[in-house]
Amino acid sequence: MLTVTAIDKAKPTENQYHMADERGLVLLVRPNGVMLWQL
């Protein structure tokens, strides 16, 4: 489950990465710091 705390702790890295919850909602974190929600 994505919590507010987990999202707040998400920091950009050299490569983009994603964080997913069990219902299919995905937070994509890009190297430039942009965070995008995807279904």
Q: What is the pLDDT of residues 2-26, one digit of tens each?
A: 999 999 999 999 999 999 999 999 9
pTM, rounded to two decimals: 0.85
Say whether 5 sits in a helix, a strand or coil: helix
* The pLDDT of residue 1 is above 90: no
Would you say 12 and 32 are in contact if contact means Cβ atoms under 8 Å apart? yes
